[in-house]
Structure 1
């Protein structure tokens, strides 16, 4: 019985994949593509098939969420890692100004959030700076703060670039 169900689902998936470029067309009122739906539904097998068929890993829906946001919201580490391996941008913001990492933290999926934080940090290290100028300051935070989702706060001993002032430069 399980084989029949799997075979039937695979045949339906094959029909969807035959449509080619239409895989990136939004099929619902909030502009979600099949890639969004697979990521949200924790369907890693379908997600892989959609991505291999030309699905856009960075397509944003009407709320600005990419498939990576959806996978983070559902807590699917498998879908998150698949999207990252497929080249999905981890620095995309939704209309609320949240990245997928922010969503994972807020939904309590610390394993997903930590994976995204480590991935972002390693991308920053590879490029000797962050992809976007707004992320440079965040990358200068200590690794343990980044892994815990903490943002660095300004103190009197730091300027706006996040660099510590020398003791003789502090204003008393």
Structure 2
């Protein structure tokens, strides 16, 4: 079993280092919440009728990384990984064919691509793409702040799901 390291972000860093530090901290928090669980436990839903599971959250965050750091930031024309127009919450609808190994690998690949794409931009640089519904452009600072918020919210969900599964708590 591996142990996910979650170094605390610097308290004195420059803005970009701090934003990237907090985003990575929250990415690692989600990985930590999933650590040491069986495939069945990773599929365990929070509470009925919710389909929210740790594997579903990881799949959702792979989609979120892809949408913001590929489609919006660099205007890469790609489709979704898990959801569709017919199933807009497809990342949470697990089938027998879905595996933790695939979900985790996909999420980590999207994170690595996000890091590479973000490295090409300054905090005030505008995205090359636009929001698919509103047409809005964003700067990288906004994307980082939004992603920190997105992970923080879902890590709260992950805390509750993990506690339900095996009683593990922590921050």
Normalising by the smaller structure, the TM-score range is: under 0.3
Q: TM-score, normalised by structure 2?
A: 0.24
Higher normalized contact order (CA 8 Å, seq sep 6+, divided by chain length) = 2
